[in-house]
Amino acid sequence: MNRPPVTDWTADFDHLDPTFVADPYPIYEQLRTDCPIAHTDRYHGVWIPTRYEDLAAIAHDHHHFSSRTILVTDRPESPHDLGFHAPPITEDPPYHTDIRRLLLPVFSPKVVADYEPITRAMANDLIDGFITDGGCDAATDFAQHVPIKVITRMLGIPDSDHAQFRDWIHRLIEESPIAGDATFEAIFEIGGYLAGHVDQHRTSPRDDIITHLLEARMPDGRPLTDEEILGVCILLLLAGIDTTWSAIGSSLLHLATNPDDRRRLRDEPDLINSATEEFLRVFAPVTMAREVIEDTEVGGCPMRKGDRLLLPFPSGNRDPEIFDRPDNVVLDREANRHFAFGVGIHRCLGSNLARMELRVALQTWLERIPEFTLTDPDAVTWSAGQVRGPRTLPFAFTAG
């Protein structure tokens, strides 16, 4: 796929352009200043609002902005029209409200707290696997596996298929703008894989999310359909892995390359909670999308039914109108209304879980590997698409 390089970001934005993938933040800064609601003709036409207040207003307005399109692709159809339903994230009220209520208890703070010791043990096991080597790829040997191990355990499926998950995530979330049919083939492959596991749970119920979904009832008393159960499982598997992997990787990269913050977080462990929020603000991985379902206007820009938008929460999180020193990592930042997890009715269902995973991964890493460095800055690679995080992180440390 040959796409011409972007020369004018205000009129020809492309979130897959290599310059943007390498470092999106100066581009967002330029857009917030020069053209806060940009438009590109690429990908069948997409609006790109970049200021915090505009992003918040759109995310809160589900009457005009539908979640039927949450991935911007090179297909003219909405993902919905191609059969991609991953409720609740791809749905609108009132259906969204009902099915989301079934899932909220599974990710409540109390349930997440129960998973903390398990997550800590998993992180320690991963570190045991490479600590004697004096180095590792922190993205693929560590960051990736923490969320895979946790979400597969919660769902009730084996974590041994992680290479397959990674391939699906890559095709669906990272390559989707240019992958064409491969994106939607990935969805059906995941569905087929999960269907077998759902059938097993039907005959032998367990204490996990798949069993919870099989036993759940909508407000009118009906059970979920097979399609609904598979759609939810696809969401949890995909959204639960790529995002947290990215946040853990970005945070570790910052600590590897900023010795003052690394030492401070080690010497002042009570800072971990505010530091976790700050990493989520500065390195927010997720950009969402919406589709206009009723003509409206934002910041003087007329938006017509059928128009698509990207919602780059990472840009809002660095808006100087909201955040002091927005590009700096301030480990003890006090006021931090970031929206790494979005805002409004689609607030990330797994935000409590993701926060716990990120905090525990960082705590465990710093306890076991207090000093570490990035061996080759040029070797770091970044995912493209609507989830951003490092995919190669060569680290060195003293073998333990």
Partner 1 sequence: MRVVVDAERCQGHNRCHALAPVLFDIDDLGYATAAPGSVPADLEAAARLAEANCPEHAITIDP
Round to whole Å and give the CA distance between 308 and 291.
4
For partner 1, the closer CB: 107 or 395: 107
For partner 1 (CB under 8 A), the number of binding residues is 22
**With contact defined as beta carbons under 8 Å apart, do 177 and 383 qualify?**
no
From 107-115, 181-189, 220-228, 299-307, give the range in contact with partner 1 by CB under 8 A.
Answer: 107-115
**Least Å from the CB of residue 107 to partner 1:** 7
Round to whole Å and give the CA distance between 248 and 390.
9
Among 76, 109, 134, 377, binds partner 1 (CB under 8 A): 109
**Residue 242 DSSP class:** H
**Least Å from the CB of residue 346 to partner 1:** 9
Binding mask 326-365 for partner 1 (x = CB under 8 A): --------xxxxxx-x-xxx-x---xx-------------
Among 33, 108, 373, 398, binds partner 1 (CB under 8 A): 108
For partner 1, the closer CB: 207 or 334: 334
Q: Write b or e for each residue in 374-397: b if 16 or more Cβ atoms lie within 10 A of its Cβ, otherwise e.
A: beeeeebebbbbbbbbbbebbbbb
- Whose CA is closest to 63, among 370, 388, 347, 344? 344
**Least Å from the CB of residue 359 to partner 1:** 10
In whole angstroms, how far apart are CA 9 and each of 6, 166, 177?
Answer: 6, 31, 18
From 9-17, 105-113, 142-150, 388-396, give the range in contact with partner 1 by CB under 8 A.
Answer: 105-113
**Least Å from the CB of residue 102 to partner 1:** 10
**How many angstroms from the chain centroid is the CA of residue 7?**
28
Round to whole Å and give the CA distance between 118 and 128.
15
* Cis-peptide into 158, omega within 30 deg: no
**Least Å from the CB of residue 150 to partner 1:** 18
Question: How many other C-beta atoms can be found within 10 angstroms of the C-beta atom of residue 202?
Answer: 13
**Residue 144 φ/ψ, nearest 5 degrees:** -60, -40
Among 33, 273, 375, 398, binds partner 1 (CB under 8 A): 273
From 40-48, 86-94, 106-114, 238-246, give the range in contact with partner 1 by CB under 8 A.
Answer: 106-114
Among 14, 242, 261, 277, binds partner 1 (CB under 8 A): 277
**Residue 222 DSSP class:** P
For partner 1, the closer CB: 75 or 338: 338
∠ CA 324-384-259 to the nearest 5 degrees? 45
Among 65, 84, 107, 372, binds partner 1 (CB under 8 A): 107
**Least Å from the CB of residue 63 to partner 1:** 15
Alpha helix stretches (DSSP H) within 60-180:
95-103, 109-128, 145-155, 162-169, 176-179
**Least Å from the CB of residue 25 to partner 1:** 21
**Least Å from the CB of residue 124 to partner 1:** 24
For partner 1, the closer CB: 113 or 399: 113
For partner 1, the closer CB: 194 or 343: 343
In single-letter form, the type of residue at position 274 comes to S
**Residue 299 φ/ψ, nearest 5 degrees:** 55, 35
**Least Å from the CB of residue 105 to partner 1:** 5
**Residue 248 φ/ψ, nearest 5 degrees:** -65, -45
Burial class (CB in 10 A: 0-12, 13-18, 19+), 81: exposed
Residues 246-265 that bind partner 1 (CB under 8 A): none
**Least Å from the CB of residue 183 to partner 1:** 29
For partner 1, the closer CB: 249 or 312: 312
Q: Is 271 in the site for partner 1 (CB under 8 A)?
A: no
**Residue 60 φ/ψ, nearest 5 degrees:** -85, -10
Q: Which token pair is 242?
A: 């790529």
For partner 1, the closer CB: 1 or 335: 335
Residues in contact with partner 1 by CB under 8 A are 101, 104-105, 107-110, 273, 277, 334-339, 341, 343-345, 347, 351-352
